[in-house]
Amino acid sequence: MSAAMLRCWIYRKLLTAHLEESLPGVLCQTVSRHMASCADCEEQWQQLRSVSLLLRQLPAPAVPPDLELQIRLRLSRERRRSQQPSWSWRWGNLLSPFALPGAAGVLLAVVIFGAFFPLLNQPVRADSSDVPLTLRTPPRLRSSGPISLNSSMEGLVVQLLVDQNGRVADYQILTGNYTSDDVRVLRNLLLFTVFYPATLFGHPMPDTIVFPLRDVSDQTFLSKNAG
């Protein structure tokens, strides 16, 4: 690049500022002197000035007469929209009449549920009529005859063989003092005494029990041969 071309390149960088009249006085005069002596730079400057003038001479587009009206209408709609209550406020306003009845209803439901829940949720208890499911159960006293025992007989302990129908099939006195009359009374008592038979896997079967006679009065017995 020659010195003249370099000088022109520098001056052309200043042409825009010269066009804007924003160069300092001395620099502005220097650029003007250069353009007076350089036809190319002068042409560049004239072209830039022409471009600027052409732009400024472009006619202003005609503004639609109803533009302001349209803008005001749109702003009016926007203002009305912004002044409308929010959806949360609307829902709150809509539901507020139902708030008290609703709350009362919920409270009542909770009270009723709390009152009846214990009844609905009672623990399951074993029924006395349930059949024991253990492997083997001993005979149990079901009923006895209406025979009164004297005091000496209440001390007797007998071993009984109870068949699968709950009837006493045989007996043997294990302990106690007794007379022949006591044996007769005992036979009569055992004749009218009924047991729940012993069971194995739920099926009745004959079995023996040790039976104190004093337990007949309170309908209890001890099964010493169970197990």
Binding piece for other proteins, criterion CB under 8 A, among 3-11, 61-69, 94-102, 131-139: 61-69
Torsion angles phi and psi, residue 171, rounded to 5: -145, 165
Q: Which of 26, 39, 67, 126 binds other proteins (CB under 8 A)?
A: 67
Interface with other proteins, residue 54, by CB under 8 A: yes
Interface with other proteins, residue 39, by CB under 8 A: no
CA proximity to 205, closest of 215, 195, 192: 195
Interface with other proteins, residue 217, by CB under 8 A: no
Interface with other proteins, residue 24, by CB under 8 A: no
CA proximity to 7, closest of 22, 23, 33, 48: 33
Alpha helices in the chain (DSSP H): 3-13, 15-19, 25-37, 39-57, 67-83, 87-95, 99-120, 180-191, 214-217
Q: Is 200 helix (H, G, I), strand (E, B) or coil?
A: strand
CB of 105 to other proteins, least distance (A): 43
Binding piece for other proteins, criterion CB under 8 A, among 24-32, 45-53, 167-175, 188-196: 45-53
Interface with other proteins, residue 165, by CB under 8 A: no
- Sign for the CA dihedral angle at 84, 89, 93, 98 comes to positive
Instruction: Pick between residue 10 and residue 107 the one whose CB is nearest to other proteins.
Output: 10
CB of 73 to other proteins, least distance (A): 9
